Amino acid sequence: MNTIVAEPLKSLDEWEDDILLRYPEPKSETAEKQKDDYRNYDDPARDTVREFYRLNHQFQTYDFVMQKRREYLAFNKKEMTIWEAFDFLNQLVDDSDPDTDLSQLQHLLQASEAIRADGHPDWMVLTGLMHDMGKVLCLFGEPQWAVVGDTFPVGCAYSDKIVYPEYFKNNPDYDNGHYNTKLGVYKQNCGLKNVHMSWGHDEYVYQMMKDYLPEPGLYMLRYHSFYAQHREGAYDHLLDDHDREMFKYVDLFNPYDLYSKNPTPPNWTELKPYYEALVAKYLPPTIRF
């Protein structure tokens, strides 16, 4: 069953395709000039992405994040085995371009297989497999701007290093004295564990997995869309020493998310026994959503 997700993006992948335009190469190879290319990039597809961020930046307020945390972190929506969860997530296939679009499971498998091929520990392979599971939020009726997109802290000034920063002017927190200073409700270098991020699939999957994966894997899940920090370093003033240590793992993970996409689908039948054993090693029989 294919479901077209609500506007403005034609598919959730459109957001990630756009990240590839912004960051066409891994962090170590990124040259300054590419950002200018990005700003000048002229493509109608860019308009839907811009509209997506206009909504995201307007509505991701501190209060909105608190409300979504109360709603979803109760984990009282659904209980599924991982395999049922992948079937559920796979309803998010977009069928406007069936030749190039991979299912969500295929993207997850390409990321996890690339991690496995590079000889990383098995918990990181599992992290790759699970990292976008939070996109099921779309299937619970959340709009795209509350599921995907670059994430950023709320409760303090929005950085101009975040993509399309001009749209934050429409956010009520932009004019709120509690929230619009550099530190806002936080203390200098208080650590990200004390910072609320914009609501989306990263925080949701982190909370889902937090008892089951080692700390570096949890950072990979929780901050994989926090480009303003892991690519731009825009929130160094909120990070503590532990975050800085753990962001090495976020950096390690990012290329597997961004650059492992390949039009050839992985052979699930062949891979299944390995992943069944991996899931059984770390995860309980069912996961609550």
Q: Where do contacts with Fe ion occur on this chain (CB under 5 A)?
A: 132, 257
- One DSSP character per residue, the chain reads ---PPPSS-SSTHHHHHHHHHH--S-GGG--THHHHHHHH---HHHHHHHHHHHHHHHH--HHHHHHHHHHHTT--S-EE-HHHHHHHHGGG---SSTTTPPPHHHHHHHHHHHHHHTT--HHHHHHHHHTTGGGGGGGGT--GGGTSS---BSSSPPPTTSSSGGGGGGSGGGG-TTTSSSSTTS-TT--GGG-PBPSSHHHHHHHHHTTTS-HHHHHHHHHTT-HHHHTT-TTTTT--HHHHHHHHHHHHHHHHHHS---SSPP-HHHHHHHHHHHHHHHS-S-EE-
Cβ of residue 221: shortest distance to Fe ion, in angstroms? 9
CB of residue 55 to Fe ion, shortest distance in Å? 18
As measured in angstroms, the least distance from the Cβ of 26 to Fe ion is 15
Taking the least distance from each CB to Fe ion, the nearer of 137 and 283 is: 137
- C-beta of 172 vs 265, nearer to Fe ion: 265
Q: How far is the CB of 33 from Fe ion (least distance, A)?
A: 26
Which CB atom, from 132 or from 142, has the smaller least distance to Fe ion?
A: 132
- Residue whose CB is less far from Fe ion, 61 or 112: 112
Which CB, 179 or 226, lies closer to Fe ion?
226
In whole angstroms, the minimum distance from the beta carbon of 132 to Fe ion comes to 4
Residue with Cβ nearer Fe ion (94 or 257): 257
The nearest distance, CB 172 to Fe ion, in angstroms, is 27
